[in-house]
């Protein structure tokens, strides 16, 4: 709770500090999230506009969420599988 109070009490901070504190605040009171910076792949310079639209494409975002679920499930299964070193 002190982090929330600290966040509200801060008056003048740089934009970077503000973004860091905002993220920390959001993580404390809501669901955890990640932010990815994905650059336009080399050789796809002619696809700049469609690439930039992906950020708002619900179908694409759902595919990314599904990929994350699959990845986390795979990691969970790997962690739960006891290794047998005989």
> Do both 45 and 76 map to the same domain?
yes
> Using one digit for the tens of pLDDT, what is the confidence trace for 21-63?
888 888 888 888 888 999 999 999 999 999 999 999 999 999 9
Q: For residue 4, what are the domain limits? A: 1-35
> Do both 46 and 86 map to the same domain?
yes
pTM of the predicted structure, to 2 decimals? 0.63
In terms of pLDDT, which residue wins out, 47 or 82? 47
Can you give the pLDDT at residue 71? 96
> Do both 46 and 67 map to the same domain?
yes
> Do both 49 and 84 map to the same domain?
yes
Q: How many domains does the chain have?
A: 2
Sign for the CA dihedral angle at 34, 39, 44, 45 comes to positive
> Do both 51 and 81 map to the same domain?
yes
Is the model's pLDDT at 12 over the cut of 60?
no
Assign 82 to helix, strand or coil.
coil
> Do both 45 and 31 map to the same domain?
no
> Do both 31 and 45 map to the same domain?
no
């Amino acid at each position: 709770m002190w982090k929330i109070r600290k966040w509200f009490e801060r008056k003048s901070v740089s934009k970077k500090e503000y973004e860091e504190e905002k993220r920390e605040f959001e993580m404390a009171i809501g669901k955890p999230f990640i932010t990815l910076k994905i650059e336009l792949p080399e050789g796809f310079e002619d696809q700049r506009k469609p690439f930039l639209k992906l950020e708002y494409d619900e179908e694409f975002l759902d595919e990314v969420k599904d990929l994350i679920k699959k990845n986390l499930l795979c990691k969970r299964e790997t962690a739960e599988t006891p290794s047998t070193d005989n």
